[in-house]
Amino acid sequence: MTNNCLILGPSERFGRHTMTEFVSRGWVVTPFRRNVDDLETLAANADVIVFGWHLKYSDWETHYDALVDTVIAAAQINNATILFPGNVYIYGKNPDPVWGRNTAHHAANTLCKVRSRIEARLESSVVQTIIVRSGDFIDTEQSGTWFDMVVSKKLARGILTYPGDPTARHAWGFLPDIARAAVDLAEMHSDLGHFVDVAVPGYAISAQEMADTFAQILNRDVVVRPMSWTFFRVLSPVWPVARHIIAMRYLWSHPHELDGRALSHHLPSFRQTPLRDALSQAICIK
């Protein structure tokens, strides 16, 4: 039996990596082309629909709900499973040290509330949804992440630039691992429930721990330096995205990590890439 997957956002981070993984496993993969393809037509043959579309922060409140509703409607055509990339926004400043599927949502700002709302929308829909949750992405190419745009930007000079408390644990996820787990779960979707929330815990590390790992990889000293927020503060009155970035600033100083028990339950043989190997692959882009 042929497995068919429709990728929404094939050039975006989650879409790109899941597409590569699905192809490597012999799936028939269709990348959706905006302004060219008809979603309903392509969804008619899809067993899995990957929600890889990326919206800029300023569009979340006005566009996200409608976009999710559109994908839910498309998934209903062939009873397809939606594969959705979750993040940690829904938890807000929850004081629990580890965040997982049973952690209460403490959404306090617009972005957090939107994410919490659309996940509830997916859960209450008639189609199966698999949420693959992770922390900040570590990619293997430059894709506009905090990791490549800020944190590792000055590594060649022995500097790790950090936007918050350098001693606080922060959740990071290696995109090839996230995609691998996502496809593993998609391939067993018939054995899963209607709504599945699985976190890929990745690496809960401080800035100093990341700097120390980079020092080992590069065989040189790496120091942590604070990122200046002046740029965002100055532009926030006229640039909505800057206001949203500032609203999410707390995540860089609020200690958190993701609970990996759901991943271990569903995929007991899954092994994450060691931190040093992941960072080595990530900085090969420099």
**Which pLDDT tens digit goes with each residue over 180-222?**
999 999 999 999 999 999 999 999 999 999 999 999 999 999 9
| Chain position carrying tokens 């990596």 | 17
Position 283 confidence tier, pLDDT thresholds 50, 70, 90: confident
At 7-16, the pLDDT tens digits run 999 999 999 9
Note the pLDDT of residue 1.
Answer: 55
Domains of the chain, start order: 4-283 (3.40.50.720)
CA distance linking residue 145 with residue 163, whole number of Å = 13
Q: Has residue 117 got a pLDDT over 90?
A: yes
At 163-190, the pLDDT tens digits run 999 999 999 999 999 999 999 999 999 9
Look at residue 180 and give its three-state secondary structure. helix
Q: Has residue 286 got a pLDDT over 70?
A: no
Task: Label residue 144 left, alpha or beta by phi (over 0 means left) and psi (-120 to 50 means alpha).
Answer: left
**pLDDT: which is higher, 114 or 108:** 114
* Polymer length in residues for the chain: 286
At 59-88, the pLDDT tens digits run 999 999 999 999 999 999 999 999 999 999
At 123-151, the pLDDT tens digits run 999 999 999 999 999 999 999 999 999 99
Give the closest residue to 1 by CA, choosing from 26, 30, 31, 29: 26
Q: How many CB atoms lie under 10 A from the CB of residue 37?
A: 14
DSSP element (H, E) containing 8: strand 4-8
Note the pLDDT of residue 108.
Answer: 85
CA distance linking residue 186 with residue 210, whole number of Å = 31
| Chain position carrying tokens 């990122």 | 227
If you average pLDDT over every residue of the chain, what do you get?
97
Backbone angles phi, psi at 138, to 5 degrees: -110, 115
Pairing of strands 203-205, 170-174: antiparallel
HEC readout, 122-137: HHHCCCCEEEEECCEE
DSSP element (H, E) containing 226: strand 223-226
Mean pLDDT within 5-29: 98
pTM confidence score = 0.96
Alpha helices (H) in the chain, listed in sequence order: 13-24, 39-43, 60-77, 110-124, 146, 175-187, 207-218, 230-235, 240-247, 261-266, 275-283
Give the C-alpha distances (Å, rounded to integers) separating 72 from 18, 77, 82, 115, 187: 19, 9, 8, 16, 20
Q: Has residue 285 got a pLDDT over 60?
A: no
